[in-house]
Chain A
Amino acid sequence: MRGVSPPGLLFLILGAALLAAPFMTLAANRIVAGQPFTIWALALWPATAGLAVGLLLGLSRNAWPRLAGGLVGLGCLLWLLSFGAGALLADARQYARTSPALGFWGMLAIFALLIADALTQLRPGPALRGALLAAAVAGLAGVLWSGWLADLSIAQEYASRARPFWTACLRHLQLALGSLAVAVIIAFPLGILCHRQPGLRRLTLPLLSFLQTIPSLAMFGIMIPVLSWVAMTVPGAREAGIAGIGFAPAFVALVLYSLLPVVGNTVAALDAVPPATAEAARGMGLSNAQRLWQVELPLGLPVLLAGVRIVMVQNIGLAVIAGLIGGGGFGSFVFQGLNQTATDLILLGALPTVAMALIAAIVMDILVDIARPIPESAR
Chain B
Amino acid sequence: MTAARFMRAGLVLLLLAMVLRPVWFTPLLAPFAPAGGPVLYERSPLWSLTLGHLGLVLVASLAATIVAVGLAIFVTRPAGAAFLPLSRTVTNIGQTFPPVAVLALAVPALGFGSGPTLVALFLYGLLPIFDNAVTGLRTLPPVTIEAARGIGMSPRQRLISVELPLALPVILTGVRLSVVIALGTATIGSTVAARTLGEVIIAGLLTNNTAFVLQGGIITGLIAVLIYDAMILLQNRLARTRDA
Binding site for B on A (CB under 8 A): 5-7, 10, 102, 113, 116-117, 120-121, 209-210, 212-219, 221-222, 224-225, 228, 244, 313, 316-318, 320-321, 324-325, 331, 334-335, 337-338, 341, 343, 346-347, 349-350, 353-354, 357-358, 360-361
Contact = CB atoms under 8 A, between A and B. Distances in A.
A218 B221 contact: yes
Interface of B: 32, 82-83, 85-86, 88-90, 93, 96-101, 104-105, 107-109, 112, 180, 183-184, 186-188, 191-192, 198, 201-202, 204-205, 210, 213-214, 216-218, 220-221, 224-225, 228-229
A354 B98 contact: yes
Given A213-B225, A216-B184, A338-B191, A7 B82 contact: yes
Contact of A218 (B108, B180, B217, B228): B217
Top 4 A-B pairs, shortest CB-CB distance: A317-B98, A218-B217, A215-B184, A221-B213
A225 B108 contact: no
Contacts of A113: 86, 89-90, 93
A320 B97 CA distance: 12
B93 to A, nearest CB: 6
Contacts of A358: 93, 96
Given A221-B217, A222-B213, A338-B107, A325 B96 contact: no
A222 B98 contact: no
By secondary structure, the B interface counts as: helix
A335 B221 contact: no
A326 B66 CA distance: 39
A7 B216 contact: no
B100 A331 contact: yes
B201 A221 contact: yes
B204 A221 contact: yes
Contacts of A210: 225, 228-229
A321 B100 contact: yes
A127 to B, nearest CB: 21
B104 A346 contact: yes
A324 B98 contact: no
Given A224-B213, A313-B96, A318-B98, A217 B201 contact: yes
B104 to A, nearest CB: 5
B228 A353 contact: no
Contacts of A102: 109
25 contacts: A214-B184, A214-B220, A214-B224, A214-B225, A215-B183, A217-B198, A218-B216, A218-B220, A219-B217, A219-B221, A221-B205, A221-B213, A316-B98, A317-B98, A324-B191, A324-B202, A338-B107, A338-B191, A343-B108, A346-B107, A346-B108, A347-B108, A350-B104, A354-B97, A358-B93
Nearest to A319: B98
Specify the main secondary structure of chain A where it touches its partner: helix
A350 B105 contact: yes
A336 to B, nearest CB: 11
A222 B96 contact: no
Q: Which of B83, B86, B192 has the most CB of A within 10 A?
A: B86
B83 A361 contact: no
Contact of A225 (B99, B213, B229): B213
Nearest to A4: B82
B214 A222 contact: yes
A325 B217 CA distance: 13
Contact of B100 (A6, A213, A218, A320): A320
A357 B100 contact: no
Contact of B220 (A217, A224, A313, A321): A217
A222 B224 contact: no
A69 B181 CA distance: 36
B191 A335 contact: yes
B162 to A, nearest CB: 27
A356 B130 CA distance: 24
Contact of A213 (B85, B97, B108, B180): B180
A5 B183 CA distance: 38
A7 B100 contact: no
A93 to B, nearest CB: 23
A5 to B, nearest CB: 7
B130 to A, nearest CB: 15
A25 to B, nearest CB: 10
Contacts of A354: 96-98, 101
A334 B104 contact: yes
Nearest to A228: B210
